[in-house]
């Protein structure tokens, strides 16, 4: 996503509050005698972190158009159909198409907002199921332990907010909160199948990274790695997409492993007896210039500088 935004509003006018909320969220109706209201929203079209300050008493009726997970300071009662609660007691999830009635009273509401298509794509990657449609059972976390896990992930995410203009930081925050949400709130369907799929992919990823590390100096291919760990090329790619953090494909992992190994050799080498080209060739870089660029991207200096240190 390249549609990054970092926007704020502060108003004491009910009409301005409603206009802002409708522009940000779609179908919203606000009933209040006054509306001392503020919001800070940061993110993009697929994911955002939002903080809404309600320095008043109000009733908000909202028909959700995306997934939200909410928590608050004391003072935000809510209901969705026959379910009801208070966001300071328990974080809760709101799903597209649901009507939320909120009654904020001098409170701060924290929201993680997810575009439905993007969250579905992430869930399909994590669980290896291209047919999965994201829908949650109920509104509450599956357990106290998972509630604390989600809240801890949110707290960490808030520390990253000043850096979220960086796409890689934003992607990491999104991935962490999306994964925490999918695990904390019960998805419709068989959780044992999803868990088995996730565990299998994690096992493939761990085996593949170990094999790639061990064979990085050889002229191996990704098909070789897939065969070595008992999966297909596409299965290997799914495992990396689901579990890789710094590298999301087996190709980029192998390249990074080779650069890392070359780096260790450069540090240990005698510059009088070893050249950069020799080290590059040892770790599968047939073109020295390509190795120099990859090394510079990874370590910020030329490999010759490391060799001569």
- The whole-angstrom separation of Cα 92 and Cα 140 is 5
Q: pTM surpassing 0.75?
A: no
- The whole-angstrom separation of Cα 93 and Cα 141 is 8
Asked whether residue 257 carries a pLDDT value surpassing 80, the answer given is: yes
Domain boundaries, the chain: 1-189, 190-309
Asked whether residue 143 carries a pLDDT value surpassing 50, the answer given is: yes
For 80-105, how does the pLDDT look when each residue is reduced to its tens digit (9 = 90+)? 999 999 999 999 999 999 999 999 99
Residue pair 242/198 in contact by the 8 Å Cβ criterion: yes
The predicted pLDDT at position 245 comes to 67
Question: HSE-up of 38 (CA within 13 Å, CB side)?
Answer: 8
Of 199 and 112, the one with more pLDDT: 112
- The whole-angstrom separation of Cα 284 and Cα 213 is 13
pLDDT confidence band for 196 (50 / 70 / 90) = low
Residue pair 154/72 in contact by the 8 Å Cβ criterion: no
Domain 190-309 has CATH 1.10.10.60: yes
- Distance linking the first and last C-alpha atoms of the chain: 41
Residue pair 158/150 in contact by the 8 Å Cβ criterion: no
- The whole-angstrom separation of Cα 279 and Cα 265 is 7
CATH number for the segment(s) 1-189 = 2.60.120.10
- The whole-angstrom separation of Cα 91 and Cα 73 is 11
pLDDT confidence band for 76 (50 / 70 / 90) = very high
Pairing outcome for strands 99-114 and 47-57: antiparallel
- The whole-angstrom separation of Cα 207 and Cα 223 is 14
Find tokens 């006054």 and name the residue: 34
For 6-24, how does the pLDDT look when each residue is reduced to its tens digit (9 = 90+)? 999 999 999 999 999 999 9
Residue 68 host element (H or E):
strand 67-72
- The whole-angstrom separation of Cα 103 and Cα 58 is 6
- The whole-angstrom separation of Cα 183 and Cα 75 is 27
Reading the block at residue 231, the tokens are 């999966």
Q: What is the DSSP letter of 98?
A: P
For 198-250, how does the pLDDT look when each residue is reduced to its tens digit (9 = 90+)? 777 888 889 999 999 899 888 889 999 999 998 888 888 888 887 776 677 89
Residue pair 87/104 in contact by the 8 Å Cβ criterion: no
pLDDT confidence band for 142 (50 / 70 / 90) = very high
- The whole-angstrom separation of Cα 56 and Cα 188 is 37
- Sign for the CA dihedral angle at 279, 252, 175, 197 comes to negative
Find tokens 């593949």 and name the residue: 208
């Amino acid at each position: 996503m390249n549609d990054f935004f970092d926007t704020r509003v502060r108003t004491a006018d009910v009409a301005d509050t409603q206009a802002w909320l409708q522009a940000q969220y779609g179908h919203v109706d606000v009933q209040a005698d006054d509306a001392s209201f503020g919001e800070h929203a940061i993110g993009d079209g697929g994911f955002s972190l939002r903080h809404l300050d309600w320095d008043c008493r109000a009733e908000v009726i909202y028909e959700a158009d995306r997934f939200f997970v909410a928590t608050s300071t004391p003072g935000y009662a809510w209901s969705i159909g026959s379910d009801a609660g208070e966001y300071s007691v328990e974080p809760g999830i709101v799903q597209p198409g649901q009507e939320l009635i909120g009654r904020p009273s001098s409170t701060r509401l924290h929201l993680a907002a997810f575009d439905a298509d993007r969250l579905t794509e992430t869930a399909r990657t994590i669980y290896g199921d291209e047919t999965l449609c994201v829908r949650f059972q109920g509104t509450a976390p599956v357990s106290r332990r998972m509630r604390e896990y989600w809240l801890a992930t949110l707290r960490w995410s808030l520390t990253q907010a000043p850096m979220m203009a960086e796409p890689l930081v934003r992607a990491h925050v999104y991935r962490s909160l999306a994964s925490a949400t999918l695990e904390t709130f019960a998805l419709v369907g068989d959780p044992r199948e999803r868990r088995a799929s996730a565990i299998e992919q994690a096992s493939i990823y761990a085996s593949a990274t170990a094999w790639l590390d061990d064979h990085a100096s050889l002229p191996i291919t990704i098909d070789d790695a897939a065969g070595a760990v008992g999966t297909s090329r596409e299965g290997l790619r799914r495992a990396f997409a689901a579990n890789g953090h710094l590298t999301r494909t087996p190709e980029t992992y192998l390249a990074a492993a080779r650069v890392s190994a070359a780096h260790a050799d450069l540090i240990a080498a005698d510059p009088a007896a070893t050249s950069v080209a020799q080290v590059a060739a040892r770790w599968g870089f047939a073109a020295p210039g390509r190795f120099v660029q990859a090394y510079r991207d990874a370590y910020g200096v030329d490999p010759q500088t490391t060799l001569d240190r």
